[in-house]
Amino acid sequence: MNIKQIYFLILFFSAWSLYAGEIKFAGEAKQGGLIIAFGKNISSATLNNAKLQVDKSGYFIFGFDRDAKGVFKLKVRFKNKKTETFEYNIEPQIYEEQRLTLAKKYVVPPKKQSKRIQKENKLMKAARASVGKMKNALFISGFSYPVDTVNIHSVFGSQRILNGRKANVHNGLDFAGSEGDTIRAVSDGVVRIAGKDFFYNGNFILLDHGQGLTSVYLHMSSLIARTNQKVKKGEAIGLMGATGRATGPHLHLGVQWFKKRIDPMILFNTSLPSQE
Ligand SMILES: [Zn+2]
């Protein structure tokens, strides 16, 4: 090997290592936040030592629960054995309180419904169990609103006060609209369950967007997509309604990264990091 060749090798490897270390991020590191990352030549990534799934194309995703606290450490290892570490200090959010009055049967479900609710919970659990097995980042199709006319009715994270008593947290984003309005997939995905007439959810659809990211669409008057169907971003999956525990026609959109509750608004405010 002559001097010229050695020079070339040194140049090549220094350029390579610089290049391999670059990660691009989009999204927000906050309670209920979501980060979409892209990098080339990644061999593995971990968040607080838990392994993340990385798509062949170099995209990966991770999120922070509504009540996440403290420091999260992202470690990315590249094929050239180099590693990079990023730290996220999650600041608490302030959530609003929302007072609601509902018929008593929805606050305390009647005993005769408990078997039905149990059965529905089991079906939902089974559907969620299949989430996270798809390494493919279908979400790289990007995100779009699930309704044609956007009218936010209730934000993510509110503490609900039902009939004067502290109740559950609103783990989604509500869109107001009319019975029969078209509801569309927020990103490419696979239908894990198209549930009919559930006590709480009514008619609903759970979409799997890969790497543990899901979106759920509740209270629909009717379903268009079927269980196991592949859908495209913007494709009609159902019609708006007030089925299940709903006070009027609206869409409740819930987003999760595995069991972490994510603010759906993040999706619509985030452009994917480019591959360039
Ligand atoms: Zn809701």
Q: What are the tens digits of pLDDT across the range 180-218?
A: 999 999 999 999 999 999 999 999 999 999 999 999 999
d(CA 94, CA 227): 37
| Interval between CA 173 and ligand 1 midpoint (Å) | 6
Instruction: Report the separation in Å between the CA atom of 91 and the middle of ligand 1, taken as the mean of its atom positions.
Output: 24
Between the CA of 98 and the centroid of ligand 1 the distance, in Å, is 11
**CATH number, span 3-90:** 2.60.40
Close Cβ partners of 231 (under 8 Å, ≥ 6 residues apart) = 185, 188, 189, 190, 191, 207, 225, 237
pLDDT in tens, 44-64: 999 999 999 999 999 999 999
Region of residue 234 (left: phi > 0; alpha: psi -120 to 50; beta: else):
left
Enumerate the CATH 2.60.40 domain ranges in the chain, comma separated.
Answer: 3-90
Q: How far is the CA of 170 from the centre of ligand 1 (A)?
A: 6
Ligand 1 centroid to Cα of residue 211, in Å, is 24
Q: How far is the CA of 171 from the centre of ligand 1 (A)?
A: 7
In the CATH hierarchy, which top-level class contains the domain 97-268? Answer: mainly beta
Residue listed under structure tokens 């502290």: 166
Q: What is the pLDDT of residues 264-274, one digit of tens each?
A: 999 999 999 98
Residue 272 alpha carbon to ligand 1 centre in Å: 26
- pLDDT for 104-153, tens place per residue? 766 677 788 899 999 999 999 999 999 999 889 999 999 999 999 999 99
Asked whether 76 and 39 are in contact (CB, 8 A), the reply is: yes
CA of 149 to the centre of ligand 1 (A): 17
Q: Show Cβ contacts of residue 62 under 8 Å, excluding neighbours closer than 6 positions.
A: 34, 35, 37, 47, 52, 74, 257
Bridge partners of residue 183, in order along the sequence = 238
SS3 29: coil
Which residues are found with C-beta within 5 Å of the ion, ligand 1?
172, 174, 252
Predicted TM-score (pTM) of this structure = 0.89
